[in-house]
Chains A and B, each alone.
Chain A
Amino acid sequence: MTTKLMGQGVQRVEDQRLLRGQGRFVDDVLVGQGTLHVAVLRSPHAHARIRDIDVSGVLDVEGVHAVWTYDDLAGLAPNMADPLPLLIPHPALTQGRTQYALAKDEVNYVGEAVAFVVAEDRYLAEDAVGRIQVDYELLPPVVGIEAARAADQLVHPDVPGNVAARLVQDTGAPGELEAAMAAAPHRLSLDLTVERSACTPLEGRGTVARWDPDTNRMTVWSSTQTSTGVRAVVAAKLGLDLGQVDVVTPDVGGGFGVKINHPWPEELLVPLAARALGRPVKFTEDRREHFISSAHERGQLQHIEVGFDDDGRLQALEVTFWHDHGAYIPYGLIVPIITSTQLLGPYKPRVYRVTFESLYTNTVMVTPYRGAGRPQGCYAMERTMDAIAAYLGKDRTEVRAANFIQPDEFPYDQRMTFQDGRELEYDSGDYPAMLEKIKALIGWEEFPRFREEMAAQGRQVGIGLACYVEGTGVGPYEGAHVHIETSGKVKVATGLTSQGQGHQTAFAQLVADELGVRFEDVEVVTGDTRRMAYAVGTFASRAAVMSGSAIHLAAKRAKEKVLRIAAEALEASEDDLEIVDGIVSVRGTTAHIDLGTIAVLSNPLRYAFDERSKLATQFSVGDPGKPPVAEDDEPGLEGKDFYSPERSTFASGMHAVIVETDPRTAEIKILKYAVVHDCGNLINPMIVEGQIHGGVAQGVGGALYERMVYDESGQLLNASFMDFLMPYVTEVPDGIAIDHLETPSPLNPLGIKGAGEAGVIPSAAVFASAISDAEGFPITAMPISPSDLFQLRRTLTEEPS
């Protein structure tokens, strides 16, 4: 019997090419081959009217092939003159604004695309960009949430108050929250801040396109998290039929959310240029561009009112927050909706009301970044839990435990609408068990003694804890195609994309298990619309759940056909067959047939192409009394299926950290970091742990190092890796203790839940908790630097509250 691969830490097949320098990232596509290169003139101002753009003389530069501004777009493709799409409309999003592919009349953030140049190479394209003269009339910029709320100035003159949307959800009847709040034995209020950060994958955005005039087809390679999304919008904007456009997602050098937004201006302008110029065209974003012209996330102000009983049980929770979505809102309200719903975590307040406003500012737009609003929600709730514990003088774990949804309460309906428009109903979990695990892993009970030991040496330490629940695997669907070739090799395609998660490995494990083939014989392709035209994308920790399930189902279908044909060929009952290492045999006999031969038999042939295919030709097989392909059958040994769940499945986790803060320099050192994680059944624990490691490091960055520093004029002051402080190895914990809990999801055939984002969700919360514990005062603004902590100490000493 073949060992089941699900649950095994199988080494990744991707690594063989990536380790040899043979990966194919978007900038590696069509090197040479007459490919032209793009540079974009971007606005140097946060808010300005464009009076005039002078491109005269640019085309005179040798090697420059095109220079376009907004005025050129309609002539190239009529739909290009419209704003870029608002991808996710919502009834509450009454004032949705999106940018144009190239700025029309005004610019609303530093970095907005103004003019587009195509040249022989990027050096010449940048030279040409330097020659374009733009006459700007400066307008007052709106920078920061306070300025947006004050609305003394407007980002878009026709959007009153800078408010794109205001959304309220209330789990109670009218007046219920007020009554519960009034009746609660204790009440607290908190004001919290989270600053902006960003995904900053090591590879920025990039798009390559080639137009084939002989076949009237466009091929686009894009570093995206959704190839089908890019395909649909390229076709729509360029006026092409969907069937004329292929989008291939090559290796992607990290996404973390930013590459789910689409189309970027360049994602449309590059294919447009390829068609107009008759040459392949490539745009490769540089690092500065990534900071000022892709997307950020996280920035929120939060106000919390909470009423609770003597045990800390939440009687009434009212949260109001203001979400900074930047100059435009192409991705709709997804991030604040996730904050507002996932804030609840593993807890069950008696009544909960949340209100948010999504606000325009003259800064880079905001789209999901790993965690996608959850880190902010977790921070709000966990700061509240700590505040309650401090108020009641109780252990922080005790207050949390008092509020947990219990294992016998699943499915648990939170009475909210989630980001997918469906009920926020948790499918499974075991939060009390998880709490015990994290306490053991971090040494919660032993910590007071450790603190005393450290204090005796003049050292100051603190411990923190944070819990979260994460809705993963949102719909609408993913599909998969499994094709067993006559060689016996299995080719699998699913449409969502990969950016380092090891899909080729994990998905191959599932197929090998289901089909009974050797792992090495399975090859998985993702994100290629030529191979799978129907797909959604890779976000919301959904790949394993959605495509994993679809692949499992498609493999099952292929297997059904394998068994049917094999039973016929071996003259045996399907029930007696088993498949091991690609050989179908009749149990207890020596009769067998290999998958390759079954593939040959599945496709009645007129023409043989080799020795074995003679088996399937017309004088060799078939019942002359029947059609060669039965009415309800198809030629070929393939299986195709789609997975479309009713709702998301809810993963969960708890993190804990012990930090040391220097009494004088306020340096913050991580002494121990622990994670307990429940993503249901694991496909590949090695990959899941890798995701956790990466999430934790990204969370350390977000909590202690990274922020987007805008000045009052809307200039991003730290748009480089010099000053945006992504952690090196020296800034992350040396070792992360990990323990798993596996409560399978009842919603999908494999019992899995998503794992990609989890590691980063509780970071701000857990560090705020630990630093508060070390310092003895609440931390209400994250991220926090040593300088911030120093200033905070000073303020609190100078003005004791």
Chain B
Amino acid sequence: MKPAPFAYHRPGSLADALAILAGDPDAKVLAGGQSLVPLLSMRLAAPSALVDINALPGLADITVTDGRVRVGALARHAAVLASEEVRRHQPLLALALAHVAHATIRNRGTSVGSIVHADPSAELPAVLALLDGALEVASVRGTRVIPASELFVGPLESALEHDEIATAALFPVLPAGAGVAFEEIARRHGDYAMCGVAAVVDGDSVKAAYVSVSEVPTVVDLTGVPDADLGEAALARLDPADDIHATAAYRAELVRVLTERVVARARGEAAA
């Protein structure tokens, strides 16, 4: 299990990084590498070149401005998780990040990288989708902001063009009086969840987003749904599938149980 050869670039500026990426259609961006490097080692991915963005300045910043938590492309999960500001302004991020793999992986893995990877079993894409956040991306052609609703196109497939680098993720801050909750059930602590649910309750509005039970992170509006029907209402929009760890029927049951629990908890947080 060793990577195939590739060229390696470690540009010092975003412009250089974008130029290299634009010039090589088989190049890939390397940030935290916690998903990419195993794929390289298993030779499931064999890019011609890696553009290592770890030397780019300013990308590790985590800031709260204009009603949004802005997480830079090089901010490690651990840094986001540890940020008091993030916890205060968008507690859902910390709640979800605590479930991302193990601490050692969070020390290196980046939150933006996890979003770009667009794994439907990952927590952060669901969080971004639920909060109606967005991704800032740059290319030699300019910059743009991709709303979460347009970002996740398929399993492991995002709307980023090949020559684009995600520079930051934007998570709207939690409105005063709103409440959030996150819970998931995994085979082992730290594994990808068999099912995970994030919920936000704001006044009458109740929304939930799901991990591992649909091909792309799916947000379900549960506003006005009676408590007893929450699970079924969610399932109407989801597509749990069989895999080696859980049957579709079991995942569906987890959707029911977790939706009830997480919505109740988010309501509790909202009331608090």
- A-to-B contact residues, CB < 8 Å: 122-123, 126-127, 130, 286-288, 664-667, 705, 709, 717-718, 722-723, 725, 727-728, 730-731, 785-787, 790-791, 794
Cβ–Cβ < 8 Å partners of B190 in chain A:
728, 730
User: In the bound complex, what is the Cα–Cα distance between A709 and B254 (angstroms)?
Assistant: 23
Nearest chain A CB to B250 CB, angstrom units: 4
A residues in contact with B11, CB < 8 Å: none
- Please determine whether B191 and A725 come into contact, CB atoms closer than 8 angstroms: yes
Q: How far is the CB of B229 from chain A (nearest CB, A)?
A: 16
CB of B94 within 8 Å of the partner chain: no
Say yes or no: B188 contacts A730, CB within 8 Å: yes
Indicate if B247 sits at the interface (CB-CB under 8 A). Answer: yes
> Which 6 pairs between the two chains have the least Cβ-Cβ distance?
A730-B189, A787-B250, A787-B246, A286-B1, A123-B2, A709-B244
| Interface flags, B1-18, vs A, CB<8A=1, else 0 | 111110000000000000
Query: How far is it, in angstroms, between the C-alpha of A787 and the C-alpha of B244 when the chains are bound?
Result: 10
B-side contacts of A728, CB under 8 Å: 188-190
30 contacts between A and B (CB under 8 A): A122-B2, A126-B1, A126-B43, A288-B42, A664-B253, A664-B256, A665-B254, A665-B257, A666-B250, A667-B185, A705-B187, A705-B188, A717-B244, A718-B244, A723-B244, A723-B245, A725-B187, A725-B188, A725-B191, A728-B189, A728-B190, A731-B188, A785-B187, A785-B245, A786-B250, A787-B245, A787-B247, A790-B247, A790-B253, A791-B249
Kindly state whether residue B194 has any CB partner on chain A within 8 Å. Answer: yes
Cross-interface CB contact of A790 among B42, B191, B250, cutoff 8 Å: B250
A123 partner residues in chain B, CB cutoff 8 A: 2-3, 5
A794 to B248 CA separation, bound complex (whole angstroms): 13
A288–B38 Cα distance when bound, in Å, is 12
CA distance A611 to B194 in the complex (A): 74
Which A residues lie within 8 Å of B5 (CB)? Answer: 123, 127
Shortest B41–chain A CB gap in Å is 9
Give the CA-CA distance A287 to B188 in the complex, in Å.
Answer: 19
A287, A709, A785: which has the most chain B beta carbons within 10 Å? A785
Which residues of chain B from 1 to 47 have a CB within 8 Å of any chain A CB?
1-5, 42-43
CB distance from A281 to the nearest CB of B (A): 17
Which residue on chain B has the smallest CB distance to residue A731? B188
The answer for the CA separation of A3 and B213 in the assembled complex, in Å, is: 63
B240 to chain A, nearest CB (A): 11
B4 touching A731 by the CB < 8 A rule?
no
A723 to B247, CA, bound (A): 15
Whether A665 and B189, one on each chain, are in contact in the complex, defined by CB atoms closer than 8 angstroms, is: no
Distance from A764 Cβ to chain B, minimum over Cβ atoms (Å): 18
Cα separation A790 to B43 with both chains bound (whole Å): 36
If A705-B187, A731-B189 touch, whether A791 touches B1 (CB-CB below 8 Å) is: no
Cβ of A768 to closest chain B Cβ, rounded Å: 19
In the bound complex, CA of A630 to CA of B5 (Å): 69
In the complex with contacts A130-B43, A288-B42, A728-B190, A665-B185 CB distance below 8 A: yes
Which of the residues A127, A288, A790 comes within 8 Å of B1, measured between beta carbons?
A288
A787 touching B3 in the complex, CB below 8 Å, given contacts A130-B43, A664-B253, A717-B244: no
Kindly report which residue of chain B lies nearest to residue A727, judged by CB atoms: B188
A725 to B243, CA, bound (A): 14
Q: In the complex the two chains form, what is the Cα distance from A728 to B103 in whole Å?
A: 13
List 19 additional A-B contacts (Cβ < 8 Å) besides A730-B190, A731-B188, A731-B189: A123-B2, A123-B5, A126-B4, A127-B4, A130-B43, A286-B1, A288-B1, A667-B185, A722-B191, A723-B244, A725-B187, A728-B189, A786-B185, A786-B187, A787-B194, A787-B245, A787-B246, A791-B247, A791-B250
A132 to chain B, nearest CB (A): 14
Which A residues are CB-close (under 8 A) to B42? 288
User: Is there contact, CB below 8 Å, between B191 and A794?
Assistant: no
For B2, give the chain A residue with the smallest CB separation.
Answer: A123
Chain B positions within 8 Å of A122 at CB level: 2
What residues of A have a CB within 8 angstroms of the CB of B254 in the complex? 665
Smallest CB separation, B2 vs chain A (Å): 4
- Complex Cα distance, B247 from A725, in Å, reads 17
Min distance, Cβ A336 to any Cβ of chain B, angstroms: 27
Map CB proximity to A onto B100-129 as digits: 1 under 8 Å, 0 otherwise.
000000000000000000000000000000
**Cβ contact within 8 Å between A665 and B253:** yes
- Tell me the complex Cα distance, A429–B191, Å: 43
B256 CB contacts on chain A under 8 angstroms: 664
B2: A residues at CB distance < 8 A: 122-123, 126
With both beta carbons as reference points, the residue of chain A lying nearest to B1 in the complex is identified as A286
Q: Which residues of A contact B194 (CB under 8 A)?
A: 787
CA distance A445 to B140 in the complex (A): 74
User: Within 8 Å CB of B189, what residues of A?
Assistant: 728, 730-731
In the complex, residue of chain B having the shortest beta-carbon distance to the beta carbon of A662:
B257
Q: CB within 8 Å of A: which of B127-186?
A: 185
Which residues of chain B come closer than 8 Å to A718, judged between CB atoms? Answer: 244
B197 to chain A, nearest CB (A): 12
Min CB gap A535→B, angstroms: 34
Shortest CB-to-CB span from A477 to chain B, Å, is 40
Q: Could you tell me the distance in whole angstroms from the C-beta of B231 to the nearest C-beta in chain A?
A: 11
A790 CA to B194 CA in the complex, in Å?
14
A512 to chain B, nearest CB (A): 41
Task: Give per-residue flags for B250-272: 1 if the beta carbon is below 8 A from chain A beta carbons, else 0.
Answer: 10011011000000000000000
User: In the complex, what distance in Å separates the CA atom of A441 from the CA atom of B128?
Assistant: 50
Q: How distant is the Cα of A728 from the Cα of B102 in the complex, in angstroms?
A: 11
Task: Tell me the nearest residue of chain B to A127, going by C-beta.
Answer: B4
CB distance from A114 to the nearest CB of B (A): 17
B120 to chain A, nearest CB (A): 16
Say how far B235's CB is from chain A's closest CB, in angstroms. Answer: 15
**How far is B253's CA from A137's CA once the two chains are assembled, in angstroms?**
44
Task: Report A-chain residues with C-beta under 8 Å of the C-beta of B257.
Answer: 664-665
Interface centre among A664, A667, A718, A791 (most CB of B within 10 A): A664
A127–B250 Cα distance when bound, in Å, is 42
Q: Which residue of A lies closest to B187 (CB)?
A: A725
Contacts of A722 in B (CB 8 A): 191
CB contact list, B52-76 vs A, under 8 A: none
Chain B proximity of A26: nearest CB distance (Å):
17
CA distance in complex: A549, B207 (Å): 69
* Bound-state Cα–Cα, A325 to B188, Å: 29
Closest to B258 in A: A665
Q: What residues of chain B lie closer than 8 Å to A787, measured between beta carbons?
A: 194, 245-247, 250
Q: How far is the CB of A143 from chain B (nearest CB, A)?
A: 15
Within the complex, the shortest CB–CB distance from B47 to chain A, in Å, comes to: 15
Contact partners of B185 in chain A: CB under 8 A: 665, 667, 786
B250 — which chain A residues lie within 8 A by C-beta?
A: 666, 786-787, 790-791
CB distance from B122 to the nearest CB of A (A): 13
Q: Which residue of B lies closest to A711 (CB)?
A: B244
What distance in Å separates the Cβ of B52 from its nearest Cβ neighbour in chain A?
Answer: 19
Within 8 A of A (CB), among B212-255: 244-247, 249-250, 253-254
Closest to A129 in B: B43
Residue of A nearest to B102 (CB): A728
Alpha-carbon distance between A287 and B41 when the two chains are bound, in angstroms = 11
CA distance A123 to B3 in the complex (A): 7
Residue of chain B at shortest CB distance from A123 = B2
A790, B240: Cα distance in complex, Å: 15
Taking the nearest CB of chain B, how far is it from the CB of A62, in angstroms? Answer: 12
Docked complex Cα distance between A795 and B137 (Å): 50
* Bound-state Cα–Cα, A705 to B245, Å: 9
Whole-angstrom distance from the CB of A29 to the nearest CB of chain B?
20
Give B107 Cβ to nearest chain A Cβ, in Å.
Answer: 17
Expressed in whole angstroms, the Cα–Cα distance for A791 and B245 within the complex equals 12
Cβ contacts under 8 Å, B247 to chain A: 787, 790-791
| Smallest CB separation, A124 vs chain B (Å) | 9
Smallest Cβ distance from A663 to chain B, in angstroms? 10
Cα A791 to Cα B5 in complex, Å, equals: 46
**In whole angstroms, what is the CA distance A18 to B185 when docked?**
36
Contact B249 A790 (CB under 8 A): yes
A731–B43 Cα distance when bound, in Å, is 31
Q: How far is the CA of A665 from the CA of B187 in the complex (A)?
A: 12
The interface residues of chain B lying within 8 Å CB-to-CB of A705 are 187-188
Chain B residues with Cβ below 8 Å from A717 are 244
